[in-house]
Amino acid sequence: MAKLSAIRGFRDSTGDTLERMEQVEAVSRNTLEVACYEPIRLPIVEYTEVFLKSVGPSSDIVQKEMYTFEDASSRSLTLRPEGTAGFVRAYLEHGLYKERPVSRYWYSGPMFRHERPQKGRLRQFHQVGAEAMGVSDPCLDAELITLADRILKGVGLEGFEVQVNSIGCKACRETFKQELVAFLGDRSSMLCEDCRQRSLLNPLRVFDCKICKEALDQAPVMLEHLCRECHEHFRSVKACLDAFGVKTRTNPRIVRGLDYYNRTTFEIYPEDGGAQSVLVAGGRYDGLVETMGGPPTAGIGFALGVERVAEQVLQKEKRAYRHVERSSIAVLPLGEERKPSICHVLTELWDAGISAMPVWGPQGLKAKLRFVDKRGLRYALFPSEVDRMVLKDMQAGSQSEGSSSEIDWIKARIHALRGKVEFGGDHG
């Protein structure tokens, strides 16, 4: 039988990686809920037209990256490639705009894109998204960018760069497009096939191209062609970001790969990363609700790539991480007659919130200690004489002993050692 394997680009996450992903999700949730964003859970599958109408026909996602299939009633369904489309569908379907004209939501979960898998690019990946509706005030743009910045700082990252841009409104973009199309027409022979297509469908997207960078060196940029209102909006966004204390760089080439954006767009890059490593991205989408059949409604949001952020956190923490996190206790039952007291100790440790893992099995002390060492667990707790137990610090090699019925000494010892580990730099 052929060996079973996961689908290419679909990853199993375990251990350190999974712990960091969960940490990123937890910090995101705290940061967003403290800022009064409400949770919303959305389906993973939507009717295909939800994405056609929102993400847009000229985007790479719709053109080549969607997992689309027919259900038993021949309806075309798509695994969600991103969260905003489904969010706006729900916002409209449930009349949330009538209930509360100004609202803020957050969501998280898996997304699916049939891209070529490579470092930082998966076919199933996870996002945390935030969407704020009903306010066109530029301070809301700054609020969202600030929250994304706070999440990244909250998980311990620094040195990342927040890049902002404005791609204008429908009106000023139309005039600009003509100028850009004329520029691209003159250089058609220097453009790749994709960009020749883009200059017909959605010319701004040529700035996303890695191949044509040189050909576009002298290209006009939208930021210099904003109408008065869009110019003023962008100026206010930046002033408000200053007030929030968020450092940004204006990059006139951030156009974003989805069709629904207007005015503010932004991307957050890690310290040493290229386009494949964008950690968070988003922007304003004031026309989207209307395009999808609702009343004119302002909207803005972002999504954070959980795997990409978790990877950055892991890279930064490589040295200290294992010892801090692996401060759990391995509890070693030795001999049938000691098992009941071990079960008692285990439940007491768990009740006290101390992470403890029993090492069941017939092996003797030496073999069990070898296992503990290999697993990188910090402590081992095992019976010695009748009614007594030993707590061994696997890293320092030291040990202490106490009664097995009276386990407060273990808790006190663990708390003392943990304090040292977390605050005293006890880990080499």
Between 282 and 383, CB nearer to ligand HAM: 282
Residues that bind ligand HAM (CB under 6 A): 82-84, 113, 115, 121-122, 125, 127, 129, 131, 278-283, 285, 301-303, 305, 307-308
Between 53 and 368, CB nearer to ligand HAM: 53
Between 290 and 401, CB nearer to ligand HAM: 290
C-alpha gyration radius of the chain: 27
| Residue showing tokens 């449930």 | 94
Between 90 and 191, CB nearer to ligand HAM: 90
Q: Which of 319, 307, 239 is nearest to 270 (CA)?
A: 307
Q: Closest separation between CB of residue 393 and ligand HAM, Å? A: 39
Q: Closest separation between CB of residue 213 and ligand HAM, Å? A: 19
Q: Closest separation between CB of residue 64 and ligand HAM, Å? A: 13
| Residue showing tokens 């100790």 | 345
Q: Cα–Cα distance between 267 and 283 in angstroms, integer?
A: 9
Task: For residue 368, give both structure tokens.
Answer: 């069990």
Q: Closest separation between CB of residue 337 and ligand HAM, Å? A: 53
Residue type, 368: K
Work out the burial of residue 170: count CB atoms within 10 Å of its CB; fewer than 13 is exposed, 13-18 middle, 19 or more buried.
exposed
Between 32 and 281, CB nearer to ligand HAM: 281
Is there a contact between 142 and 156 (Cβ–Cβ < 8 Å)? no
Q: Closest separation between CB of residue 217 and ligand HAM, Å? A: 24
Ranges of H-type helices in 292-364: 306-325, 339-351
CB atoms within 10 A of CB 325: 18
Q: Cα–Cα distance between 209 and 206 in angstroms, integer?
A: 5
Distance set, CA 412 to CA 186, 357, 388 (Å): 76, 18, 16
Is there a contact between 44 and 157 (Cβ–Cβ < 8 Å)? no
| Residue showing tokens 């841009």 | 165
Task: For residue 109, give both structure tokens.
Answer: 């979960």
Residues 6 or more apart whose CB falls under 8 angstroms from that of 226 comprise 166, 168, 172, 234
Between 118 and 218, CB nearer to ligand HAM: 118
Between 29 and 121, CB nearer to ligand HAM: 121
Q: Closest separation between CB of residue 158 and ligand HAM, Å? A: 18
Q: Cα–Cα distance between 54 and 62 in angstroms, integer?
A: 10
Q: Closest separation between CB of residue 231 and ligand HAM, Å? A: 22
Q: Closest separation between CB of residue 32 and ligand HAM, Å? A: 13
> Which residue of the chain is nearest ligand HAM when measured via CB?
305
Between 283 and 294, CB nearer to ligand HAM: 283
